[in-house]
């Protein structure tokens, strides 16, 4: 889990992550998500996948020709809104992100709605448990930032109440519930549209900016 910048006091409904914009990079990333989803859905015996592979290889080669060194790119991805534009949960520039857009609420919680499809499947028609944990881990980090704290994940206690469905809206939420020194306790869950809890989590984060007692 990455550290999230402190949000501070902002009005209810404030978007805390970078929403997709009408920019070439965002449109290209959205197209890449369509390709990933379509590859998983397509008829593998009738689709001309050899031609698809050749075209995708050409696209990849073009992009790689315009890629800076890895170290330079890693730093660039953290500039400005980079931390939320490139992460694998909320990043509109990351093709493996759904992406999930999170907003802060006056009650101290954060939440966002997302519909997940084939790339995130575990059991048939349902979300992979590891993906659920990733969504919640990231959401809790954003919840800490909304509460004015920032920390690295030390422990996630994930409980799977029932299979989480694909192809329908899900609400992912989190809230910081306690803090003591460097320790931050945060909870969250994933619910269906009717409010049914599919996955819940209790987590411990460590704020490395707070001096440890001697």
| pLDDT tens readout for residues 89-106 | 999 999 999 999 999 999
Q: What pLDDT, on the 0 to 100 scale, is given for residue 11?
A: 60
What confidence category does residue 2 fall into, taking pLDDT thresholds of 50, 70 and 90? very low
Domains of the chain and any CATH numbers:
98-206 (3.10.129.10)
Classify strands 103-104 and 183-192 as parallel, antiparallel or unpaired.
unpaired
pTM (2 d.p.): 0.88
Determine contact, residues 197/132, Cβ cutoff 8 Å.
Answer: no
What confidence category does residue 139 fall into, taking pLDDT thresholds of 50, 70 and 90? very high
Dump pLDDT digits (tens) for 74-90.
Answer: 777 777 666 778 899 99
Q: How far apart are CA 198 and CA 26, in angstroms?
A: 30
Dump pLDDT digits (tens) for 7-50.
Answer: 444 567 788 888 788 899 999 999 999 999 999 999 999 899 99
Of the two residues 54 and 212, the one the predictor is more confident about is 54
What confidence category does residue 138 fall into, taking pLDDT thresholds of 50, 70 and 90? very high
Classify strands 183-192 and 152-160 as parallel, antiparallel or unpaired.
unpaired
Please return the burial class of 112, using the count of CB atoms within 10 Å of its CB with bins 0-12, 13-18 and 19+. Answer: buried
């Amino acid at each position: 889990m990455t550290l999230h910048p402190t949000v501070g006091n902002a009005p209810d409904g404030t978007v805390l992550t970078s929403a997709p914009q009408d920019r070439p990079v965002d449109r290209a990333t959205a197209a890449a998500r369509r390709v990933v989803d379509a590859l998983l859905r397509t008829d593998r015996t009738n689709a001309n996948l050899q031609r698809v592979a050749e075209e995708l290889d050409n696209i990849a080669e073009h992009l790689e020709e315009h890629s800076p060194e890895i170290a330079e790119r890693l730093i660039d991805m953290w500039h400005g809104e980079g931390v939320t534009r490139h992460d694998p949960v909320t990043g509109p520039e990351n093709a493996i992100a759904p992406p999930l857009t999170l907003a802060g609420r006056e009650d101290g919680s954060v939440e966002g709605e997302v519909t997940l499809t084939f790339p995130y499947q575990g059991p048939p028609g349902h979300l992979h448990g590891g993906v659920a944990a990733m969504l919640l881990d990231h959401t809790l980090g954003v919840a800490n930032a909304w509460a004015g704290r920032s920390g690295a994940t030390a422990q996630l206690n994930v409980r799977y109440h029932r299979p989480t469905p694909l192809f329908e809206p899900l609400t992912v939420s989190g809230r910081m519930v306690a803090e003591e020194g460097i320790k931050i306790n945060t909870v969250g869950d994933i619910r269906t549209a009717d409010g049914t809890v599919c996955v819940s989590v209790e987590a411990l984060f460590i704020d490395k900016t707070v001096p440890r007692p001697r």
